[in-house]
Amino acid sequence: MFDVCLLGTGGMMPIPGRWLSSLLIKCNGKMILVDCGEGTQIPLRMAAWGFKAIEAILLTHYHADHIAGLPGLLLTIANSGKVEVLTLIGPPGLKQVVDGLTVISPQLPYELELIELSDINGDSTSLHNININSLPADHSLPCLAYSFELPRNRRFNAGRAKGLNIPIQYWKDLQRGISVTLENKTIRPDMVLGPLRKGIKVCYCTDTRPTEDLEEFISGADLFICEGMYGKNDELEKARQNKHMTFSEAALLAKRGNVNELWLTHYSPSLKDPEVHIEGVRAIFQKTIAGKDLQSKTIKFNDTDTEADFGK
């Protein structure tokens, strides 16, 4: 399962009662942070999920409201006792940006591993069984949208395994996709495993115009967290000029992508009360929520069929 926490929902600058847009994902005791604007340490501390377990920090792009909090956070993570490698992932230019920012956070007790992803084509990497995919966004400088997918094991067919006389001590290996050899006969996992099952998918995107590629990228997501810089439809021209989205555009994107739930984020500082506009947006996509700082959710596999059929 995934635990997700929307640390902040602001764009451009933090304002009283609203931190800058950032997302925290926790899975199997490991955490991934997406974006780190100024002040991100504060909602991180308020969330009380800790700092030491942060394994990676992903950056959508290098505008200050998405990265200026990095030096202080790196020092806070150091003070948490972390000595293991910390991975930083972002579009091209990552090394130059990190080199500049870490001038004021030198001598970290852990190594920084930098992974630059393409801003021309979709790219991918993985971290602790989480598949991370990226897609170039339509913004004023290189920017990436991210998806996080947790695959799900195929269901183990105990009856089929018994019919093949496979001793129970080999069942776990087969469920993990490892072939076993019995009496000079190879037993392949697909001989005892059911069809592929849907895992968990969370998508995050800020600072972009809606695109057809983005519709496909978010397809079927359990949770889509998307920027809603402007709440009013009459601000569409401003959204186009500044390479952002209105609430309605984000909702239409969620509808076309057939996602399960939409959280809006990255509000303009002038947008005082996002809830004022939410009912109209729900006419486009019903499961739309105006994101709030420290809003969290646990996402589990889609049905009760979560365990292997051992012993049945």
Q: What's the pLDDT tens digit per position in 157-173?
A: 888 888 888 989 888 88
Q: Considering only residues 163 and 139, tell me which one the structure prediction assigns the higher pLDDT.
A: 139
pLDDT tens, 274-291?
A: 999 999 999 999 999 999
Q: How many CA atoms lie within 13 A of 147 on its CB side?
A: 27
Mean pLDDT value across residues 286-298: 97
pLDDT at 59: 98
List, for residues 201-241, the tens digit of each pLDDT value: 999 999 999 999 999 999 999 999 999 999 999 999 999 99
Q: What is the pLDDT of residues 262-272, one digit of tens each?
A: 999 999 999 99
* The two three-digit tokens of residue 213, written as one number: 């590629």
pLDDT reported for residue 250: 98
Q: Where are the alpha helices (DSSP H) in the chain?
A: 41-47, 64-67, 70-79, 94-101, 158-163, 171-175, 212-217, 236-242, 247-256, 278-282
In this predicted structure, which of 93-97, 123-127, 230-234 has the lowest mean pLDDT? 123-127
pLDDT digits (tens, 9 = 90+) for 7-58: 999 999 999 999 999 999 999 899 999 999 999 999 999 999 999 999 999 9
pLDDT more than 90, % of the chain: 79
Indicate which residues carry an active-site annotation: 65
The pLDDT of residue 172: 87
* In contact, 76 and 41? CB cutoff 8 Å: yes
- pLDDT over threshold 80, residue 293: yes
pLDDT tens, position by position, 186-203: 999 889 988 888 899 999
Question: For residue 309, what pLDDT band results from cuts at 50, 70 and 90?
Answer: very low
128 is in an annotated binding site: no
Count of Cβ atoms closer than 10 Å to residue 203 Cβ: 26
Q: Where in the chain is the domain with CATH 3.60.15.10?
A: 2-155+194-299
Please check if 65 is assigned to a binding site.
Answer: yes
277 is in an annotated binding site: no
Is the confidence at residue 243, as pLDDT, over 80? Answer: yes
CA 131 to chain CA mean position, Å: 10
Record the tokens describing residue 121, joined without a space. Answer: 């084509």
Q: Given this model, what pLDDT does residue 134 score?
A: 97
Give the DSSP H/E element, type plus range, for residue 264. Answer: strand 262-265
**pLDDT by residue (tens digit) across 55-70?**
999 999 999 999 999 9
63: annotated binding-site residue? yes
Question: What is the per-residue pLDDT for 303?
Answer: 67
Give kind and range of the element (H or E) at residue 5.
strand 2-8
Q: What is d(CA 305, CA 197) in angstroms, rounded to the nearest whole number?
A: 10
State yes or no: pLDDT of 310 exceeds 70.
Answer: no
Question: Given a cut of 80, is residue 305 above it in pLDDT?
Answer: no
Q: Find the mean pLDDT for residues 95-99.
A: 97
Q: How far apart are CA 269 and CA 11, in angstroms?
A: 7
For residues 312 and 304, give the distance between their C-alpha atoms in angstroms, rounded to a whole number.
16
**Distance from CA of residue 37 to its chain's centroid?**
16
| Residue pLDDT, tens place only, 71-94 | 999 999 999 999 999 999 999 999
Q: Residue 92: what are its φ and ψ, rounded to 5°?
A: -55, 145
Give the domain 2-155+194-299 fold. Metallo-beta-lactamase; Chain A (3.60.15)
pLDDT recorded at residue 307: 44
